[in-house]
Amino acid sequence: QVQLVESGGGLVQAGGSLRLSCAASGRTFTSYAMGWFRQAPGKEREFVAAISWTGSATISADSVKGRFTISRDNAKNTVYLRMNSLKPEDTAVYYCAARLRHLAVVADEYPYWGQGTQVTVSS
């Protein structure tokens, strides 16, 4: 099993940047693909980005391509989401998730989740 704790959320003006972090417990972090999802009020949870267990493959949603970058540091058991050029529509609770081996874009395929961190982008 793996436990996940997100941090780095906050309030930022449109056009600004934030970096989210997700710290994972356990000694098998390198076995897990990691994903970021978000959920805005009244909306379903949506995929943002994912990275393979080796870090060699990433995928991101069209809505964040060119603005958000997912990365991981396996030595620190941490995955990051760098968010640039933030827009008000990026406002949501951001969740980190983990699944064994291969990345996925569907939330139901991730068995492990963090508690979420709030990101609010003001216009």
**pLDDT at position 72 over 90:** yes
Question: What was the pLDDT predicted at 1?
Answer: 81
Distance CA 6, CA 13 (A): 21
Tell me the per-residue pLDDT of 84-101, one tens digit each, with 9 for 90 and over. 999 999 999 999 999 998
Question: What was the pLDDT predicted at 93?
Answer: 98
* 120 CB-near residues (< 8 Å, 6+ apart): 10, 11, 12, 91
* 116 CB-near residues (< 8 Å, 6+ apart): 6, 39, 93, 94, 95
Question: What was the pLDDT predicted at 27?
Answer: 66
Structure tokens at 1: 């099993």
Distance CA 84, CA 97 (A): 21
Q: Mapping DSSP to helix (H, G, I), strand (E, B) and coil, where does residue 119 land?
A: strand
